Chains A and B, each alone.
Chain A
């Protein structure tokens, strides 16, 4: 594959950013003079709020859970062990994790594509580590998929929470796949994903325990241990890269240290 030469500038270089008012002081002065005559200095966002309240009351949900399919054997037993409608709450959150892990694999793949163009230096970040985390996300995806099947759910269905996880991730996907973003900027996006993912697994474990699914809770705990490692590593990579770019050590050593158990 033909490679184009690396662009010489970094986003933190002083450049031609024209977005601020100080880029155009004379025009800003004229703009402010013309705007000063606009009545109504009292900020009033009630128009948006009222429409949101009104429609929030009347609106149907973004969607619902799929109807139960043909449930047999172990799955039927497991489903019956869950209590009534609460099973769908658990299955919805499992669907969310499933979707999140699947997108997580793609986020890591996009970050891997950033690495050839990036200066990696002496830090702990390496393509092998990123690839390993990508593979672990895929393994977690399989773990959740098996859990949904065990409970008699349909892992190919998009549950409401899974759908919204996709909406949430839209911005993250845009950041990591934009050829103009740097590796460091993409690690920030990954950190956002992993912070949410980490809490997502903790919630799943708690829900599995609450519903008497000790086996699932145990499997999810193993996934969480790996997710903890992802989080710690990404924090460290970001800190190392920012130290390199700043030319100074970060004074807060707790950044990059695992959160208290």
Chain B
């Protein structure tokens, strides 16, 4: 069943300031008992909320006082929503374990979006990024095992494979290879716009998270690995961000941001099995419908156009939160060797020299992602279950 955006107006923005500190910093989910996809949804929605805040601040800088006030009201609610969602992560989940969750988000959500993306070029962009995040998961899982003696599958719960993708040492490329071809705002399918914004949100927060936690590590390889992968995540943000049509007006973008939030919370609410988390996602879906209503009013007032020329009248099917093992495996077999050339995709042999040169400088003293995973393969219960003969 779809959600009709023309009739749903959610909770009015003024009625949304219903939080106190205990609500905002409530009890977390259980790292041990929660389904892996509950963690995935929490992490995803933190990313979506953080993108909403970031965008709203930028829009406010270019807005008149009336719109600034509306944005400030909406933003206050968004910030509190983000707090409540992000604080669902438990304290016994180390930054590295949370990192495993971030990569599971990047793989499984991107795989879903790539499978359902109507534009073949955009789908290719998503599959390309997917294979890189898939390799990041393998490298971080090796680090988790070799640094903390922990099994990444305690978090992944068998939904997501842990094996090399396109090697991380090959991900770093010239910025000319990060920019992609934008969709056309007039002809693009609404789902394409929501997909692109969802990925911008996810990758942006991943980059920021790695930049925050990377220096918290003492181990030299851990510090280097976070630096190495954060650099790729910045490339991914650039890649996904460039998919949006630059001719979109700022208010069109606001509408799309709010519609993306509605779509994501609605998707989370559909799939969530934990009743407490489901209630949170449903509550925030109502809040987001209220934000969308505010954006629609601003759009109608300032652009004198029908908002439903920009956003769909009914939401596309929800994101399904599930493992995409076969899709990832097939994509890996077919496209691991792809590299970027400008906005296009080429076999590795035809990768531009500018990217090779940039990479060889970065890897001049070795690649931390190679060092951390040398000889490492996932085994249930960490690599230490291997026969002693296999251990050096």
Q: Do A and B originate from a single complex? A: yes
Residues of A within 8 A of B (CB): 15-21, 23-24, 27-28, 30-32, 34-35, 37-48, 50-52, 54-55, 174, 178-180
Residue of B nearest to A29 (CB): B158
Contact check, B219 vs A31: say whether CB atoms are below 8 A apart.
no
Question: Chain B nearest CB: distance from A29 CB in Å?
Answer: 9
Contact check, B146 vs A48: say whether CB atoms are below 8 A apart.
yes
Contact check, B220 vs A37: say whether CB atoms are below 8 A apart.
no
Please give, as numbers and ranges, the residues of chain A lying within 8 Å of B224 by CB-CB distance.
51
Question: Chain A nearest CB: distance from B134 CB in Å?
Answer: 11
Q: Is the interface of B mostly helix, strand, loop or mixed?
A: loop
Question: Chain A nearest CB: distance from B388 CB in Å?
Answer: 10
With A and B bound together, what is the CA distance between A206 and B32 in angstroms?
45
Contact check, A38 vs B377: say whether CB atoms are below 8 A apart.
yes
B32 interface neighbour in A18, A28, A44, Cβ under 8 Å: A18
Contact check, A41 vs B221: say whether CB atoms are below 8 A apart.
no
With A and B bound together, what is the CA distance between A19 and B31 in angstroms?
9
Size category of the binding interface on chain B: 35 or more
Question: Chain A nearest CB: distance from B142 CB in Å?
Answer: 9
Contact check, B370 vs A47: say whether CB atoms are below 8 A apart.
yes
Contact check, B146 vs A45: say whether CB atoms are below 8 A apart.
yes
Please give, as numbers and ranges, the residues of chain A lying within 8 Å of B221 by CB-CB distance.
47-48, 51-52
A17-B32, A24-B159, A42-B392 known; 6 new pairs, CB 8 Å cut-off, are A27-B323, A34-B161, A34-B325, A34-B329, A43-B386, A51-B224
Please give, as numbers and ranges, the residues of chain A lying within 8 Å of B325 by CB-CB distance.
30-31, 34
B375 interface neighbour in A19, A44, A179, Cβ under 8 Å: A44
A27 interface neighbour in B159, B371, B372, Cβ under 8 Å: B159
Interface string of B365-384 (1 = CB under 8 A from A): 00010111111111010010
Please give, as numbers and ranges, the residues of chain B lying within 8 Å of A30 by CB-CB distance.
158, 325
With A and B bound together, what is the CA distance between A42 and B32 in angstroms?
30
Interface 9-residue window, one of B33-41, B168-176, B287-295: B33-41
Interface centre among B36, B164, B377 (most CB of A within 10 A): B377
Known contacts A51-B220, A179-B27: A37-B163 contact under CB 8 Å: yes
Contact check, B162 vs A35: say whether CB atoms are below 8 A apart.
yes
With A and B bound together, what is the CA distance between A178 and B90 in angstroms?
9
Known contacts A15-B33, A21-B153: A45-B158 contact under CB 8 Å: no
Contact check, B377 vs A28: say whether CB atoms are below 8 A apart.
no
* A–B pairs, 16, beta carbons within 8 Å: A19-B154, A19-B157, A21-B158, A27-B159, A30-B158, A31-B153, A31-B162, A35-B377, A38-B164, A40-B375, A43-B383, A47-B370, A51-B219, A51-B224, A51-B371, A55-B220
Contact check, B34 vs A21: say whether CB atoms are below 8 A apart.
no
Question: Chain A nearest CB: distance from B315 CB in Å?
Answer: 30
B390 proximal to A (CB < 8 A): yes
B357 proximal to A (CB < 8 A): no
Known contacts A18-B157, A35-B378, A38-B164: A45-B392 contact under CB 8 Å: yes
Please give, as numbers and ranges, the residues of chain B lying within 8 Å of A17 by CB-CB distance.
32-33
Question: Chain B nearest CB: distance from A62 CB in Å?
Answer: 10
Please give, as numbers and ranges, the residues of chain A lying within 8 Å of B323 by CB-CB distance.
27
Contact check, A18 vs B34: say whether CB atoms are below 8 A apart.
yes
Please give, as numbers and ranges, the residues of chain A lying within 8 Å of B154 by CB-CB distance.
19-20
Question: Chain A nearest CB: distance from B277 CB in Å?
Answer: 14
Residue of A nearest to B329 (CB): A34
Residue of B nearest to A54 (CB): B220
Question: Chain B nearest CB: distance from A201 CB in Å?
Answer: 27
B213 proximal to A (CB < 8 A): no
Contact check, A21 vs B91: say whether CB atoms are below 8 A apart.
no
Please give, as numbers and ranges, the residues of chain A lying within 8 Å of B375 by CB-CB distance.
40-44
Question: Chain A nearest CB: distance from B271 CB in Å?
Answer: 16
